[in-house]
Chains A and B, each alone.
Chain A
Amino acid sequence: MIPSDHFVRFYNEVFKFLDEHGGMEEFYREISRHQELHCLELFKAKGLRGMYEYWDHIRIEENCDMSLQLLPDRLTLTMHRCPSLSKAVDNDAGPCAKYCDHCPGWVIPLLEKAGYTCEYNLVDRMKPQCRMIIFPASANRPSRVFAEPLEISGKAPV
């Protein structure tokens, strides 16, 4: 058994393999389908409030240093210290350079299925920080993934 505590380090090895052999995007979609089991109905039924509940539970269970801000038209999640990337980095096998990409990779398809879009700021793939802002779907605000310092991206959308 790979301990659940060490899943991240196994995942990290899988990403290295997929980065070399192809199949990363398809894998994200597979993980996204798996995650539907945990949250799709909640997101559909309770919208941004349901997402707040899901990630607040994750905040505790996955030991995240994270803040959540729920407003009527958006949910902002700011990860101050991501436990997942932190483990991938604190790892004798070394991190996969694309480790962070799996998060928007599974989150965005699921959010879009629930009727929402997401602006996902990875900040820096070697820093355990990120921010995602979730909105009800609208044609003029498609989901996007980018990486820029939090000081900059934090000002614009709020």
Chain B
Amino acid sequence: MRYREDNELHLDFHGTTNTTLNYVGERFGVDALKSILRKTGRDVYRSIREKLAVGDASELLEHLNWFYYREKGRYALTVSEDRIVMEVFECPAIRQLKKLGLKPSEWVCLQTGEVNAGMCENTPWRTELELVGEGHCIQRFIRERQP
């Protein structure tokens, strides 16, 4: 995996992410925010995207599993050949915002949807994000087969 941090965690960065989402969203609009998040998914996670492009979802799976595990999220990851479903029952980012006494940005879940979409850009995979409740979502990655 291209990035696999395993040292001390600094969870308060979720607070700074929240402030950053609000700043960009309020001053530049949601489309600007989406473009930055999409670019983050596409370019920062280039290694995941390039593997997805050739049908290899292994790094995406490792990424999802490692970082949600590392941040002590409650989640279930279900994998089949053409479908990856990540159900997050308790999002570590939202949990940390609440611990800090911060109101989660209205765009807090946009980061997930757009970064995931960036990872899938120009690959056979598409992604969906279903918001079930606060801190509870279902992230789906679906491989489209050529007819």
Contact = CB atoms under 8 A, between A and B. Distances in A.
The interface size bin for chain B is 35 or more
A84 to B, nearest CB: 10
B66 to A, nearest CB: 9
Contact of A11 (B2, B20, B47, B71): B20
A26 B7 CA distance: 32
B8 A1 contact: no
B27 interface: yes
Given A21-B28, A34-B16, A93-B46, A4 B36 contact: no
B14 interface: yes
Chain A contact residues: helix, strand, loop or mixed: helix
Interface stretch (B37-45, B51-59, B120-128): B37-45
B40 A9 contact: yes
Band of interface residues on A = 20 to 34
Nearest to B67: A3
Contact of B10 (A4, A26, A37, A90): A4
B31 to A, nearest CB: 12
Given A1-B112, A23-B27, A13 B13 contact: no
Contacts of A58: 10
A60 B27 CA distance: 34
A31 B115 contact: no
A7 interface: yes
| Max count, chain B CB within 10 A of own CB: residue among A6, A10, A11, A62 | A10
A7 to B, nearest CB: 4
B36 A9 contact: no
Given A3-B67, A14-B36, A91 B44 contact: yes
B67 to A, nearest CB: 4
Contact of A17 (B12, B17, B36, B93): B36
A60 B20 contact: no
22 contacts: A2-B111, A4-B14, A4-B17, A5-B3, A5-B5, A5-B9, A5-B67, A9-B44, A13-B39, A14-B24, A17-B28, A17-B32, A23-B27, A34-B16, A61-B8, A62-B8, A91-B44, A92-B2, A92-B43, A92-B47, A93-B40, A93-B43
Interface of B: 2-3, 5, 7-17, 19-20, 23-24, 27-28, 32, 35-37, 39-40, 43-47, 67-68, 70-71, 73, 88, 91-93, 96, 100-102, 111-112, 115
3 smallest CB-CB distances across A and B, nearest first, come from A93-B43, A7-B13, A3-B67
Interface of A: 1-11, 13-14, 17, 21, 23, 26-27, 30-31, 34, 37-38, 58, 60-63, 90-94
